[in-house]
Amino acid sequence: MLYYICKEREMSEETKPTFDAPVTDAEINAETAPAFNLNKHTARLLMNEPFFAGISRRINKVATDSIPTAGVYVDKETAQFVLMYNPAFMGKLPDNEKLGVLKHEFYHLIFEHVTGRKPEGGLTKVDNICMDLAINSHLKGELPEMCCMPGKAPFEWAQPFKSYEWYKANWQAPEEGEEGSEGQPGEGSGEPGEGTGSGNYDSFDDHSGWSEGIDNTINEIAKERLKEGIRKAAEEASQAGSWGSVSASCRQEILDGLKTKINWEKALRYFIKTSQRANKRSTVRRINKRFPYIHAGKKVQRTAKIAISIDQSGSVDDEMLGMFFDALDKLSKIASFTVVPFDTEVCEDHVYEWKKGQRHKKERVRYGGTCFNAPTKWVNERDFDGHIVLTDLMAPKPVASKSKRLWITTKEYANRPYFETKEIILSVN
């Protein structure tokens, strides 16, 4: 969270911040929204901040009064990144601070604060402040006056341009009763990390959705999607010949992070594991805890029955098929796979079970058009835990799937699917 310190003793009633007051839909729609046009300010990024402009284009933006300020989060269903902002709050800021707030939110994505680096047990207030300290050194002079800034009271101990982990490891709480006093993580009454000092820390942006109910599948796919977005934004900045306000050291950190290849197979594994069912069978090798030596024990095996629908239209190339089948072989210990070739129809004569150790020739059996209804209906009529579709996505939206469905395609097609869906789309190259 971007935090500011409200120094009430130094402020008159006229100068106290008022942007954290509740805002109604009527107020936003009737007054504030027309006065604040987010597109105007994101367009300014194109001229001066090519890298951040590239990040901005790949984030959904939603105006709302459900939060007092702004925040970024991962959509729990689609693994898409969303920027939520309150027009009433944004409209009251000077133009340079509007851009500063936007860049602050983008830095949360770039530094992986949203998709990773979250401690067990959830984020405390100290965690949020440390994340802000890691960002705000890069935005000095571009944020509201009261934002937490390394080297500025009460964070004189905080060296600039350090990571969230460094600030957390070197955290120094102000003395009890000192302006801006903040307890050590987990100390004092109330929520962990809130402390007991007299300082009044108020949230400047919203992080409430960062660790609420996001499963590993969504998180891994979001990581892949984020890295690809950053990669493209970096390419666009390089082509423009400018990274704007991004420092040389930060630029190098971003580029170094891109060298680590996202493991799409890991995301696929998470999808399968979340689709697994528990199969129980009797065994004399295990003691029955309720009736020892009377009844046999139970052995639980978690498996998943996954349907693999493969588009035969000709746009899914052999390299993609090869990569995918190699991944299936590695995942055969946790699932059984039924391969279903299709174009406008399911080619039932070529449906087969893929099992551990088996090698099937990667051949095409049909070369027609594409209709996703055919494999979806075929899978819906049978007992499957999950449905994976390997395709270029160039066909109309299909009927709903009874089981959890995952779309796998190339990066080219993942960025421009033929239809909109809240289901997960995963690219393999």
Q: 338 - beta bridge partners?
A: 307, 353
The whole-number pLDDT of residue 242 equals 92
Would the pLDDT of 427 be above 60? yes
Least confident among 70-74, 104-108, 374-378: 70-74
Asked whether residue 290 falls in the same domain as residue 313, the answer is: yes
Asked whether residue 293 falls in the same domain as residue 315, the answer is: yes
Highest mean pLDDT: which range of 182-196, 199-213, 244-258: 244-258
Read off the amino acid at residue 264. Answer: W
Structure-token pair, residue 364: 């095409």
Average pLDDT, the chain: 76
> Which CATH number is 343's domain given?
3.40.50
Asked whether residue 68 falls in the same domain as residue 173, the answer is: yes
Asked whether residue 213 falls in the same domain as residue 299, the answer is: no
Asked whether residue 305 falls in the same domain as residue 202, the answer is: no
Asked whether residue 29 falls in the same domain as residue 148, the answer is: yes
* CA 13, 18, 22, 23 torsion-angle sign: positive
Contact 388, 306 (CB under 8 A): yes
- Name residues whose C-beta falls within 8 Å of residue 99's C-beta, 6 or more positions apart in sequence: 41, 44, 45, 49, 142
Average pLDDT over residues 397-415: 87
Nearest Cα to 79, choosing from 178, 214, 211? 214
Asked whether residue 210 falls in the same domain as residue 293, the answer is: no
Contact 308, 355 (CB under 8 A): no
What is the Cα–Cα distance from 171 to 335, expressed in whole angstroms? 46
What is the Cα–Cα distance from 84 to 60, expressed in whole angstroms? 8
Structure-token pair, residue 236: 């666009």
Asked whether residue 187 falls in the same domain as residue 223, the answer is: yes
Number of structural domains (the chain) is 2
Would the pLDDT of 383 be above 70? yes
How confident is residue 338, by pLDDT bands cut at 50, 70 and 90?
very high
φ, ψ of residue 368 to 5 degrees: the values are -85, -155
What is the Cα–Cα distance from 162 to 166, expressed in whole angstroms? 6
Asked whether residue 176 falls in the same domain as residue 290, the answer is: no
Instruction: Indicate whether this model's pTM tops 0.95.
Output: no
Asked whether residue 178 falls in the same domain as residue 302, the answer is: no
Instruction: Determine which helix (DSSP H) or strand (DSSP E) holds 109, and give its type and residue range.
Output: helix 95-110
Contact 195, 181 (CB under 8 A): yes
The whole-number pLDDT of residue 411 equals 76
Tens digit of pLDDT for each residue in 3-60? 433 333 233 333 333 333 333 333 444 344 446 889 888 888 988 899 999 999 999 9
Which of 202, 226, 258 represents a domain boundary (last residue)? 258
Which of 202, 237, 258 represents a domain boundary (last residue)? 258
Would the pLDDT of 300 be above 60? no
The whole-number pLDDT of residue 107 equals 95
3-state DSSP assignment of residue 229: helix
Which of 258, 293, 328 represents a domain boundary (last residue)? 258
- Got the DSSP string for 15-83? TS--TTS---HHHIIIIIHHH--HHHHHHHHHHH-HHHHHHHTTSEEEE-SSSSSEEEEE-TTT--EEE
Domain hosting residue 177, numbered range: 3-258
The whole-number pLDDT of residue 303 equals 76
Average pLDDT over residues 86-115: 92
The whole-number pLDDT of residue 93 equals 92
Would the pLDDT of 102 be above 90? yes
Least confident among 26-35, 185-194, 273-282: 185-194
Asked whether residue 17 falls in the same domain as residue 149, the answer is: yes
Least confident among 95-99, 135-139, 170-174: 170-174
Asked whether residue 209 falls in the same domain as residue 298, the answer is: no
